[in-house]
Amino acid sequence: MKKNHKIAIGLLVFAAIISMLSSMEFTDQWKSDVIIPGPGVTRTAVLSDYFPKLKGEYIDTTVYFLESASPGGTIFVLGGTHPNEPASMLTAVLLIENVVVTKGRMIIIPQANLSGFSHNDPQEGSPRHIHFDTPEGVRKFRYGSRATNPIHQWPDPDIYINQFGQSLSGSETRNLNRGYPGDPNGNYTEQICYGIMELIRQEECDLSIDLHEASPEYPVINAIVAHEDAADMASMAILDLQMEDLEYNLEISPPSFRGLTHREWGDYSNTLAILMETANASQGRLRGRTDEELVLTGKDKMYVKAVELGRLYVPYDESGHPIEERVGRHVAAIRNLTNNLSFIFSDKEIQYHGDPNYYELMENGYGHYLLASK
Amino acid sequence: MITILYQLIIIFFLILVVLDMFKEKNIWNQLTGSIVIIPFILRLLMIK
């Protein structure tokens, strides 16, 4: 055998080993996160129960029901629209593992875009997982990508023209929060949107909340974005939140900003549509080193500098914006929105307990509220 | 359908690169070829 043939074979073996090791890393992120139904969970379903075309697909995400025996309203909480905004999924998980509903019912999807959780953005330096110490050990969750995995939906068009004829950048074709109200014959992401819309319509959800995070330099932050039908309720909730020393901005959903939850949920169903944002440095463009610590603590000296230069829309100091604060804001806002829904519409009353308040979360840490994984 | 066509194109280029690695006398070019085929394998198997 010639020398160069021997070298070629050796290098092919080298390439095969590297490919195998890389494959193990990538496929590890396909594994499901452990979410433990708490004492208030009465049953689970999957998204394909509302849109059967999704059956057997990776994106057929789990729906958790927390129901009471007493009739009342229905609140729908959506986490994980963007898997690189961890406070969104973690808030939903906290509710699933802790809340007990005593009047009405709560429906929760913690990982709306499961495909987005199956990969991350290596060029962003994102961590693959985040970990929490709990009284019973360590729990971990995936830190995913903003968009659907290209192995599930590809290729991206040069320009994504949404269902309303508006032109967006091509990669937005995989952004779950640009594809509403969804299309049963549309692309993979639009089909998830359609499944979620069907859930809202079939379950006759009275209040629907889409949880998000945003980079600190984004103007819509620490905010509640409300469809105009939900504006009164959101205004009252913000006043209540201010009485708890939690500052929020109220933004009314722009009628021309199509494809987003706060617009299309309200236009294409009878629900009161809300979207909420907290400050997440790990997805910002001004951030420094990107690692799990940044995701969990929000401590970043680049953002401290940026706020000194007047470039941010949130306060920022050396203490950062930890995950407890971001989840705590979401949990407090959900509580106050629910209270005001019950106040405005007495026949849609929802009561529940088991959720920590903002200050308890800050004191005890997020891991304190996670159940033991068997 | 588009995925199958895409995979056939990848296989075509994968074979070309592997054949070139056996023809090539310069070890650095052979090493370059081995690095090039890694993303081809990952895309062929739709892993990344």
CA distance A337 to A91: 15
Is the model's pLDDT at A347 over the cut of 70?
Answer: yes
Indicate which of B4, B37, B40, B43 best probes the interface with A, i.e. most A CBs within 10 Å of its own CB: B37
Separation of alpha carbons A110 and B36, rounded Å: 38
Find the residue in A nearest to B29 (Cα): A8
Does A11 sit within 8 Å of B24, measured CB to CB?
no
Give the residue extent of every domain in chain B: 2-44
| Binary contact (A4, B37; C-beta < 8 A) | no
Q: Which residue in A has a C-alpha nearest to residue B48's C-alpha?
A: A151
pLDDT > 70: percent of chain A: 100
Residues of chain B neighbouring A26 (CB-CB closer than 8 A): 42, 47-48
| pLDDT at residue A114 tops 90 | yes
Q: What is the pLDDT of residue A282?
A: 95
Nearest to B22 among A5, A22, A119 (CB): A5
User: pLDDT tens for residues A16-42?
Assistant: 999 999 999 999 999 999 999 999 999
Distance from CA of B4 to the nearest CA of A (A): 12
Q: Is A5 on the interface with B (CB under 8 A)?
A: yes
For residue A57, how many other CB atoms are within 10 A of its CB? 17
pLDDT of residue A186: 96
Give B45's contacts in chain A (Cβ within 8 Å). 23
**Unique residue bearing structure tokens 């961890």:** A86
C-alpha span between B43 and B48 (Å, rounded): 6
Q: How do residues A252-287 score in pLDDT, each as one tens digit?
A: 999 999 999 999 999 999 999 999 999 999 999 999
Q: Do A23 and B47 touch (CB under 8 A)?
A: yes
Mean predicted confidence (pLDDT) in B18-37: 95
Residue B18 above 80 pLDDT? yes
Nearest-by-CA chain B residue for A12: B34
Cross-chain Cβ contact A4/B25 below 8 Å? yes
pLDDT at B2 over 90: no
The answer on pLDDT for A238 being more than 90 is yes
| Nearest residue of chain B to residue A9 (CA atoms) | B22
For chain A, report the end-to-end CA distance as a whole number of angstroms: 55
Choose the closest CB to A23 out of B33, B37, B42: B42
Please give the structure tokens belonging to residue A16.
């095969």
- Over 90: is that where the pLDDT of A122 sits? no
- The pLDDT mean for chain A works out to 96
Dihedral angle of Cα A41, A45, A51, A56, to the nearest 10 degrees: 140
Contact A231, A98 (CB under 8 A): no
- Residues in Cβ contact with A18 at an 8 Å cutoff, skipping those fewer than 6 apart: B38
3-state secondary structure of A357: coil
Give buried/exposed letters for A26-45 (b at 16+ CB in 10 A, else e). beebbeebebebbebbeeee
- Residue A84 scores a pLDDT above 80: yes
Q: Which CATH architecture has domain A36-369?
A: 3-Layer(aba) Sandwich (3.40)
Q: Does residue A374 surpass a pLDDT of 70? A: no
Is residue A82 within 8 A of residue A212, CB to CB? The reply is yes
What angle, 0 to 180 degrees and rounded to 10, lies between the N-to-C axes of helices B2-23 and B27-44?
160
Burial class (CB in 10 A: 0-12, 13-18, 19+), B3: exposed
pLDDT tops 90 at residue A2: no
Distance between CA atoms of A246 and A141, rounded to whole angstroms? Answer: 27
